[in-house]
Structure 1
Amino acid sequence: MTTNQLYEELNKVNHSKEKRLQYANLILSNPDLLPKILNILFMVDDKMSPKAGWVLEFMCSENVEPLLPYLDLFTENIHKVHLDSAVRPVAKICELLATLYTSKEDNSVKTVLTAAHKERIIETCFDYMINDEKVAAKAYGMTTLFMLGHEYDWVHPELEIILNRDFAIQSAAFKARARHILKKMKKRKT
């Protein structure tokens, strides 16, 4: 399948879990499509970018392994994604990567996620926190920053400042996640 054919197929993707999963499984069964879906995701001004993001998020939720050879491409371009409905799945994928990286169980993310990858993810997640993003991207971003902040000693203090500063002006969902993260950070200090 060419990139153009995949692009046309993505027209059939909608918000339903069934469609997202169907196309996530298509990518999982045809790993050669992964660079193509990434290329569509990073057509950041295109209406198909979010649909590529939705499929990629579902694929990574099922199995993140196929993405690992493309972490350079992924992390070098995530900061460019700006359409709200594409930012959310990218933020979720960052959270999935951070969760696996900080997991107690051995997994391949621990061996392939480089310092450069982590730094680009951290930078992008801080952008989510300080820019006018939807609450989901901020929630995934703060969780990612909390997890990767165990390794980077400057991350937690900066995250704490942002969470405390924005707490009063953000939504209930933001406050709930921020409260949870702040509590975990406080526990780590003691």
Structure 2
Amino acid sequence: MTSDQLYQELNYVNHSREKRLYYANLLIDNPEWIPKVLEILFKVDDKISPRAAWVLEFMCKENLEKMIPFLDTFTQNMHQVHQDSAVRPVAKICEYLVKAYYAKTENKIKKELLPKHREKIIEVCFDYMINDEKIAPKAYAMYTLFLLGNDYDWIHPELVLILERDYQMQSSGYKARAKQIIKKIKTKKS
């Protein structure tokens, strides 16, 4: 499938779980298409960019290890994504990667998610926290940063500072997640 054909195919992706899963499974079965989907995702002003993000997110949910060969490309470019409907899946992919990295069970992500990747994820997650993003990317980012705080001592104090500062101005969903994260950080300290 050419990039143009794949681009046209992504026109058929919508919010339905069935469509996203269908195209995610196509990616899993045809990993050579992943670079093309990433290319479309990083055409950040294009209306199809979020659709590429949705498919990529579902692929990662189903088979995260398919993302390993593309960690450099993904982490080096994810900060460019700015459309709300594309930012959410990018934040979710970051959460998937970091959850796998800290999982109790062995997996390939533990070996392949290098410090340079984790640092880019930290950077983009803090951007989500301090910028005017919707609740979902902020929620994924705060949990991702909480986990990364296990290896980066400076993250938890910074995260608590942001969560407490923004607490009053945010939605009830944000407040609930922030309260959980702050409690986990404070429990960990004692």
TM norm structure 1? 0.99
Instruction: List alignment gaps of at least 5 residues for structure 1.
Output: none
Q: CA deviation at 1:61?
A: 0.3
Would you say 1:86 and 2:86 are equivalent positions? Answer: yes
What is the total number of aligned residue pairs between the two structures? Answer: 190
What percentage of aligned pairs have identical amino acids? Answer: 63
**Which residue does 1:177 correspond to in 2?**
177
Distance across 2 between alignment mates of 1:3 and 1:64: 22
Distance across 1 between alignment mates of 2:107 and 2:20: 25
TM norm structure 2? 0.99
**Which residue does 1:128 correspond to in 2?**
128
Q: CA deviation at 1:104?
A: 1.0
**Which residue does 2:108 correspond to in 1?**
108
Letter in 2 for 1:188: K
Output the aligned Cα RMSD: 0.4
Distance across 2 between alignment mates of 1:124 and 1:67: 18
Alignment of 1:1-190 (within 5 A): 1-190=1-190
Distance across 2 between alignment mates of 1:145 and 1:21: 27
Distance across 2 between alignment mates of 1:2 and 1:158: 44
Moved over 3 A (4+): none
Q: CA deviation at 1:42?
A: 0.5
Q: CA deviation at 1:186?
A: 0.7
Query: What CA deviation, in whole Å up to 9, does each residue of 1:71-98 have, x standing for no partner?
Result: 0000000100000000000000000001
Secondary structure at the residue paired with 2:173? helix
Distance across 1 between alignment mates of 2:186 and 2:86: 32
Q: CA deviation at 1:114?
A: 0.6
Distance across 1 between alignment mates of 2:35 and 2:147: 27
Instruction: List alignment gaps of at least 5 residues for structure 2.
Output: none
